Amino acid sequence: MPEYLPLDIPDDPKLTQNITWFARALRKAGLPIGPGRLLDAIQAVEAAGFTSKQDFYCTLHACFVSRPEHRTTFAQVFRLYWRDPRYLEHMMSMMLPAVRGVQEDRTAQAGEKRAAEALLDGTNAELPEAETQEEEGTQIEIDASMTMSSEEKLRTLDFEQMSTDEVAQAKRMLARLKLPVQPIQSRRTKADPLGSGVDWRATMRKSMRQGGDLSEIARKSRRTRWPNLVVICDISGSMSQYSRMVLHFLHAVANQKGAAWARVHGFTFGTRLTNITRHLATRDVDAALAAAGAEAQDWEGGTRIGECLHVFNRDWSRRVMGQGAVVLLISDGLDRGTPEDLSKEMQRLHLSARRLIWLNPLLRWEGFAAKAQGIRAMLPHVDSFRAGHSIASIEALAEALSRPDDIGEKARLLQGIQ
């Protein structure tokens, strides 16, 4: 819950009108709010009163927030609308070209940019004139001819910093991505006139049909098959926005025809493990993720990586990884359990998988080091350790799959541990 700041109530507050506009901003920011919830909120505030800042926040929160993922957006819109008008000016400046003296040296936190866009929707917002020592009449011209295209800029933008429109555009870009994978040579064989092996059984059957004469030697080659893809995604509070984008990408991979994967399995975990594979088969992505979110009740909760991996290794590993599956683990590695148990379960998962690739959004920081105990316990048991915070990092994942020797940032971080 955000820090409560002084809330000044004017003599004529027009409370109903203010709550109505607040509900419109929340709806624009992505919360499913209709007239019914608005009437409930007005009646609830009348019953609870608004002399206490905490009661006022909790009353509106109870009426407007129905899903865990909406809490952050609600908190930011509430902060901008009811408490901190100067912060709205900062968010407005972030939407303008970065000019020294106008934009603050701070990036938006989770949900802040979406909240500001919701409040500024439909208005011609202009920043107040800043005090400057320049002479009157001096104009600043910005040459944008060499700037990146919006799509190219979006590829490197952190998922956590995207606005509502940018998230929608990023989802469309993720839906076009593919994960190529190399086929696996099976021990089974098939008839092949140009094969390198001799099929003695077929050769003898053919000779028996010809009275025992050996006129031709049958040949065979090894079959090829496609591996399974198993995605284990962290949906704890620190991973919520990244998890949603990865699951959207996972749905696209699961429904791509000719994607080369035998089958795609999806699991989410926070405080418990949830199998969402059957929901990924739903063609509509919004319906699929809504059903997955309804089944996974631990969205934006705590993290018990070791316990959840233990459940996966015990109940699901033999079912979905029996034929050399590739495993994608999406997590920040911040675990509340004991490092020894986590290391043991990671080792077991690594031995069961054909390849284990760990995507960690914390790698977006240049100075990232494996200091957390959970990360130090997990890192030695993965084949590749890569970032997973943007579209570009997801595209780089395709490279890791096409190159079996790719280890990402694993070697560099292991040197810091030793």
Nearest to 290 by CA among 298, 282, 235: 282
Q: State the SS3 of 135-183.
A: CCCCCCCCCCCCCCCHHHHHHHCCHHHCCHHHHHHHHHHHHHCCCCCCC
Bridge partners (DSSP) listed for residue 220: 191, 197
pLDDT value of position 416: 67
Full DSSP string of 173-239: HHHH-------EEEEEEEE-TT-SEE-HHHHHHHHHHTTT------EEEEEEEPPPEEEEEE-SGGG
pLDDT value of position 33: 87
pLDDT value of position 34: 86
Nearest to 161 by CA among 227, 98, 113: 113
Rounded to 5°, angle at Cα 353 from 297 and 303? 30
Q: Residue 111 region, left (φ>0) first, then alpha (ψ -120 to 50), else beta? A: left
pLDDT value of position 283: 78
d(CA 400, CA 378): 19
Within 8 A by CB and 6+ apart from 235, the residues are 243, 268, 269, 270, 296, 298, 299, 300
- Tell me the mean pLDDT per 10 residues along the chain, length 418: 46 72 82 86 83 83 83 81 54 41 43 52 42 42 47 73 76 76 79 85 85 82 84 84 82 73 87 89 80 78 87 92 86 85 93 90 78 87 87 79 79 76
pLDDT value of position 314: 93
d(CA 109, CA 72): 10
pLDDT value of position 116: 54
- Which backbone phi and psi does 122 adopt, to 5 degrees? 80, 10
| Torsion, CA 265, CA 270, CA 271, CA 273, rounded to 10 | 0
